[in-house]
Amino acid sequence: MAIQITTELLGDHPKLNDISINGHELSTSWLRDGDGLIGFGEWRTTSVFGPNRFSDARTWWHQQLANLSIQNSVHGSGTGPLLFTSFAFDESQESRLVIPEVVIGQKSGKSWITWIGSDHQPSVEVRTNSTNSGEIKWSSGALSDEKWKAQVSKAVELIKAGNLEKVVLARDLIATSSQEILPSNLINYLVANYPTTWVFLVSNLIGATPELLVRLSKSLVTSRVLAGTIRKTGDEARDLGLAASLAKSSKDLEEHEYAVRSVANAIAPYCSSTNVPEVPFVLHLANLMHLATDVTGVINDAATPVDVFTLLQSLHPSAAVCGTPTSAANALIAELEEMNRERYAGPVGWVDARGDGELGIALRTGQLSVDKKSLRIFAGCGIVAGSIPEDELAESQAKLTPMRTALETRA
**Residues classed as catalytic:** 166, 211
**Contact (Cβ atoms closer than 8 angstroms) between residue 168 and residue 329:** yes
Q: How far apart are CA 240 and CA 125, in angstroms?
A: 43
Of the candidates 315, 368, 347, the one whose C-alpha atom is nearest the C-alpha of residue 86 is 347
Task: State in Å, rounded, how far the first CA of the chain is from the last one.
Answer: 43
Task: Tally the residues of the chain.
Answer: 411
Q: CA quadruple 411, 406, 87, 321: dihedral positive or negative? A: negative
Strand 212-217 to strand 357-361: parallel, antiparallel, or no bridges (unpaired)?
A: antiparallel
Of the candidates 5, 403, 390, 410, the one whose C-alpha atom is nearest the C-alpha of residue 174 is 403
Q: Maximum distance among all alpha carbons in the chain?
A: 65
Position 90: which residue type? Answer: D
Q: How far apart are CA 119 and CA 319, in angstroms?
A: 47
Q: How many CB atoms are located within 10 Å of the residue 369 CB?
A: 14
Q: How far apart, in Å, are the Cα atoms of 304 and each of 270, 299, 301, 310, 316?
A: 10, 11, 8, 10, 20
Strand 68-72 to strand 3-9: parallel, antiparallel, or no bridges (unpaired)?
A: parallel
Q: Which string of DSSP letters, residue by residue, matches 232-269?
A: --S-HHHHHHHHHHHHH-HHHHHHHHHHHHHHHHHHGG
**Contact (Cβ atoms closer than 8 angstroms) between residue 326 and residue 316:** no
